[in-house]
Amino acid sequence: MKEYSVVGKATRNIDGVAKVTGEARYTFDMTLPGMLYGKLLRSPHPHARIISIDTSEAERLPGVKAVITGKDTPGGKYGPWRRFPELMDEEALVTTKVRFIGDAVAAVAATREDIAKRALELIKVKYELLPAVFNPVEAAKDDAPQIHDGVENNINITRHIEWGDVDEAIKIADYVREDRYELSSQSHAPLEVHDALASFDKSTGRLTVWTSTQSPYYVQLGLADALKMREGDIRVIKPHVGGAFGGKISTYPEQICAAFLSIKTGKPVKIVLNRQEEFAVTRRRTPMYIATKIGAKKDGTIVTKEVKVIADGGAYTALGSTALYLVGIYSSFPYKIPNYRFDGCRVYTNNNPSSAMRGFGGPQAVFISETQIDRLAHDIGIDPIEIRRKNGMTPHYVVPGQATIESCGLHDCIDKVEQKVKEWGELPKYQGVGMVCYGFMSGGIFNWINTPYAFSGAMVRVNIDGTVDLFTQASDLGQGSNTVLAMICAEELGISLKDIRLHVADTGITPVDLGAWGSRQTLMSGNAVKAAAAEIKRKLMDVARIKLGENIVYDLEAKGGRIYLTLRPERGYSYYDIVKDAIRYNDGEPLIGTGHYTPHGKGMVSPAFTFGAQAVKVEVDIKTGRVKLLDIATAHDCGQVINPPAVRGQVEGATAMAAGCGLTEELLSEDGLVLNASLAYYKILRYRDMPHITTLEVHTHEPEGPFGAKEAGEGLTTPTAAAIANAVYHAVGVEINSNPLTAERVFKALKALKKNKAT
């Protein structure tokens, strides 16, 4: 393994001091002089036609500065799917028909928040109620109410993936088993709710929006579409973000309405959702009905697999198409399955829209696949770890027609976790261990937004004193990408982190980057930053070479603040001196390097994949059904680790979110109404719920990643719920095909098991 100066060394969070002193500013904290407070009026009905909206009384309320409805906006639909305009199905303020409880129909700006709230109560909306449908299977039937004009049977998207010959292969399988699942919804529940502050400058016709987002660029494009403005006249800035988890990728009504109200009033306008709105009207993880059939030989070799998914899309497309495609891809991971078929169907319903959430189809895929493979091993009578080892992906494996795997540490991960499980030893009654394997993308090769720019861009400017300004639109949401990107820049230039100053996530000054989703920042933004720094390094080395006057074949190295001959380190110059010379030699031209990255020749999913294995030990209280987590061991192959504590933070944080998905987190709704829209009733795991997590190291090098690095952000959101389900099975013998494994579900399953045994 190569020894680096900065990369791989435990480094404090660059934003940490601001965050521990309370000085870090989030959109939530921002105010501007003369700022107005905005609020959205939302539909109380899941499906209804708007007959009329009377805003006159609200407009007369003292302190109200503007009231707008869909008719006042420039019109037109928007959405993340700019490549396929027929999928752009959202309106910031609905003009004709509401499609879920929470669709926004009007917006108000007032001098105080309480006045804005009061104004909402004074708006009179007449609705014609329409029949509504909440279950995707029902919604796809011929007699179901139609939610979007021209969309037959409410079929929003279908995805088909196939390789090999599934129908032939099933004939040669010795064992075939089929399982059916019903997977529930999870809420992102970031501690900072969705918010936006917009300020329109009448004198220039330009708009600035600060917002809690994962992608300032996507918001800029969404605002341009919805407001019918040039994107260059819109500047989107991401301050510190209080968590996002896939829920803040796109453009949302509060951003558009804040902007439009600011244009209308000439004042800055801020809209902050309340916690109830955060749960009930923002996006959520896609609930899925899944049937999966697997066929294997006697020795455990998987010969075929078929997966069928019906997804509850809710009212709009959002990023649901990608979640559907990825559940199809990940359901084949991390195994070599020679014959595979996936058919997915996303159906519109009158629920709140489902979309991307951390793991992006992965948790659902791993839940069905890893519970099924455990049961398959049991059917065949082989060890559940052995069946995984036997079928697991290896380096250079090609997923037919889909993806090329380069680095792959799966088998090392399995060995390490198996060792840990052995150390846990014989377990007492009602305890069990579940083991799971998974693979995940390091950035998606998805251009739904239709950008002509590279997926990641970066710019490095070196000043006369050697300080470096790094410009990137990569979005740190807390995961630590600012620190990682500064480390990559410092390593490439051979200088220390203290010389680097970041300018981030501001479309007005930074080159386009698609932002933080699909675990793309370390690999994609990292490659762009490394390339920008490499351009500077080349320029500095040219100057050093001239000064050294050595044979052109001699290699140079930049390290420890010096540039020197690789084979004769004593011959070289200080980085700071070379920077001065580089600027002076070149007529004072600013010393700037740019870099960009877009994956090419890497298939359809991702330029690189991480792999991992996890074991979870649980204890089941058979009186109540309550499952307690006792221990977790994880091996995650993320390539070269850039910042060890940041990786651990991602691994542990993702595991906690995934354990929530497995145990307690379920966004409940009835007839489209979210029932537990509060942090008191939506159960996020707490300190006492989380056991120790042992992180087992594996070492690989990914040729496509910066310094060999891959993702750490999302892979670990995928295994834990499945591992819990497997552990519960091994502890008390119940197979549960839905999540989360709440005490109620486990209790009912135990009762059913007892009844079955009795009869």
Partner 1 sequence: MKKLLELTVNGEHYEVLVEPKTLLIDVLRDQLGLKGAKRGCDSGSCGACTVLLNGKPVHSCSILALQANGGEILTIEGLADGPNLHPIQEAFLDHWALQCGFCTPGQIIAAKALLDENPNPTEEEVKTAMNGHICRCTGYNMITEAILDAAKRLQEARR
Stretch that binds partner 1, among 101-109, 291-299, 323-331, 473-481 (CB under 8 A): 473-481
- Report helix angle 720-732 to 644-663, nearest 10: 50
Stretch that binds partner 1, among 394-402, 489-497, 550-558, 675-683 (CB under 8 A): 675-683
- Among 28, 252, 367, 446, which residue sits at the site for partner 1 (rule: CB under 8 A)? 28
Tell me the closest approach of the beta carbon of residue 320 to partner 1, in angstroms. Answer: 23
Nearer residue to partner 1 within complex by CB, 382 or 684: 684
- Among 13, 350, 352, 482, which residue sits at the site for partner 1 (rule: CB under 8 A)? 13
Stretch that binds partner 1, among 98-106, 336-344, 474-482, 595-603 (CB under 8 A): 474-482
Cα–Cα distance for residue pair 627/741, rounded to 1 Å: 8
| Binding track, positions 686-705, relative to partner 1; x by CB under 8 A | xxx-x-xx------------
Nearer residue to partner 1 within complex by CB, 155 or 630: 630
Does residue number 477 form part of the binding site for partner 1 (CB under 8 A)? yes
Cα–Cα distance for residue pair 586/591, rounded to 1 Å: 9
- Among 64, 123, 166, 241, which residue sits at the site for partner 1 (rule: CB under 8 A)? 241
Nearer residue to partner 1 within complex by CB, 25 or 298: 25
Stretch that binds partner 1, among 22-30, 136-144, 558-566, 734-742 (CB under 8 A): 22-30
Does residue number 479 form part of the binding site for partner 1 (CB under 8 A)? yes
Tell me the closest approach of the beta carbon of residue 311 to partner 1, in angstroms. Answer: 25
- Among 29, 138, 162, 343, which residue sits at the site for partner 1 (rule: CB under 8 A)? 29
Stretch that binds partner 1, among 44-52, 503-511, 606-614, 654-662 (CB under 8 A): 654-662
Phi, psi of 292 (to 5 degrees): -135, 135
Cα–Cα distance for residue pair 258/506, rounded to 1 Å: 18
Stretch that binds partner 1, among 87-95, 101-109, 162-170, 183-191 (CB under 8 A): 183-191
Nearest in space to 713 (alpha carbons), one of 533, 534, 525? 525
Instruction: Please give the size of the binding site for partner 1, defined by CB under 8 A.
Output: 51
Tell me the closest approach of the beta carbon of residue 720 to partner 1, in angstroms. Answer: 10
- Among 180, 678, 733, 751, which residue sits at the site for partner 1 (rule: CB under 8 A)? 678
Does residue number 32 form part of the binding site for partner 1 (CB under 8 A)? no
Tell me the closest approach of the beta carbon of residue 61 to partner 1, in angstroms. Answer: 19
Cα–Cα distance for residue pair 396/87, rounded to 1 Å: 36
State yes or no: cis peptide before 740, omega within 30 of 0. yes
Q: Which residue has the tokens 């091993």?
A: 377
- Among 177, 626, 628, 648, which residue sits at the site for partner 1 (rule: CB under 8 A)? 648
For residue 523, give the DSSP letter.
I
Q: Which residue has the tokens 């999913």?
A: 605
| Binding track, positions 186-205, relative to partner 1; x by CB under 8 A | ---xxxx-------------
Stretch that binds partner 1, among 446-454, 487-495, 499-507, 652-660 (CB under 8 A): 652-660
For residue 194, give the DSSP letter.
P
Nearest in space to 363 (alpha carbons), one of 461, 440, 478? 440
Tell me the closest approach of the beta carbon of residue 248 to partner 1, in angstroms. Answer: 11
* Residues 402, 329 contacting (CB under 8 angstroms): yes
Does residue number 636 form part of the binding site for partner 1 (CB under 8 A)? no
Nearest in space to 326 (alpha carbons), one of 180, 469, 440, 459? 440
Does residue number 668 form part of the binding site for partner 1 (CB under 8 A)? no
Output the six-digit token pair for 354.
Answer: 């489902």
In the chain, the amino acid numbered 149 is: D
Does residue number 740 form part of the binding site for partner 1 (CB under 8 A)? no
Question: What is the distance, to the nearest Å, from the Cα of residue 713 to the centroid of all Cα atoms in its chain?
Answer: 8
Output the six-digit token pair for 218.
Answer: 């996507």
In the chain, the amino acid numbered 253 is: P
Cα–Cα distance for residue pair 624/746, rounded to 1 Å: 8
Nearer residue to partner 1 within complex by CB, 89 or 666: 666
Output the six-digit token pair for 297.
Answer: 């030989």
Bridge partners (DSSP) of residue 68 are 107
Tell me the closest approach of the beta carbon of residue 458 to partner 1, in angstroms. Answer: 23
Cα–Cα distance for residue pair 126/223, rounded to 1 Å: 28
Nearer residue to partner 1 within complex by CB, 462 or 497: 497
* Residues 212, 28 contacting (CB under 8 angstroms): yes
- Among 9, 77, 275, 378, which residue sits at the site for partner 1 (rule: CB under 8 A)? 275
- Among 18, 129, 172, 398, which residue sits at the site for partner 1 (rule: CB under 8 A)? 18
* Residues 471, 509 contacting (CB under 8 angstroms): yes
* Residues 141, 153 contacting (CB under 8 angstroms): yes
Stretch that binds partner 1, among 471-479, 549-557, 585-593, 734-742 (CB under 8 A): 471-479
For residue 111, give the DSSP letter.
S
Stretch that binds partner 1, among 25-33, 79-87, 115-123, 422-430 (CB under 8 A): 25-33
Tell me the closest approach of the beta carbon of residue 168 to partner 1, in angstroms. Answer: 45
Output the six-digit token pair for 286.
Answer: 């896609």
Does residue number 112 form part of the binding site for partner 1 (CB under 8 A)? no
Q: Which residue has the tokens 């942090």?
A: 679
- Among 534, 684, 743, 753, which residue sits at the site for partner 1 (rule: CB under 8 A)? 684
Cα–Cα distance for residue pair 247/278, rounded to 1 Å: 10
E strand map for 273-395: 284-285, 288-296, 302-314, 340-348, 354-355
- Ramachandran class of 318: left when φ > 0, alpha when ψ lies in -120 to 50, beta otherwise: left
Tell me the closest approach of the beta carbon of residue 149 to partner 1, in angstroms. Answer: 38
Does residue number 386 form part of the binding site for partner 1 (CB under 8 A)? no
Nearer residue to partner 1 within complex by CB, 213 or 479: 479
- Among 82, 240, 283, 390, which residue sits at the site for partner 1 (rule: CB under 8 A)? 240
CB burial string 413-435: b at 16+ within 10 A, e below: bbbbbbebbeeeeebeeebbbbb
Nearer residue to partner 1 within complex by CB, 145 or 649: 649
Does residue number 242 form part of the binding site for partner 1 (CB under 8 A)? yes
Nearer residue to partner 1 within complex by CB, 302 or 627: 627
**Cα angle vertex 684, ends 681, 686, to 5°?**
120
Which residues would be at the binding site for partner 1 (CB under 8 A)? 12-13, 15-26, 28-29, 189-192, 240-243, 245, 274-275, 477-480, 645-646, 648-649, 652-657, 678-680, 684, 686-688, 690, 692-693
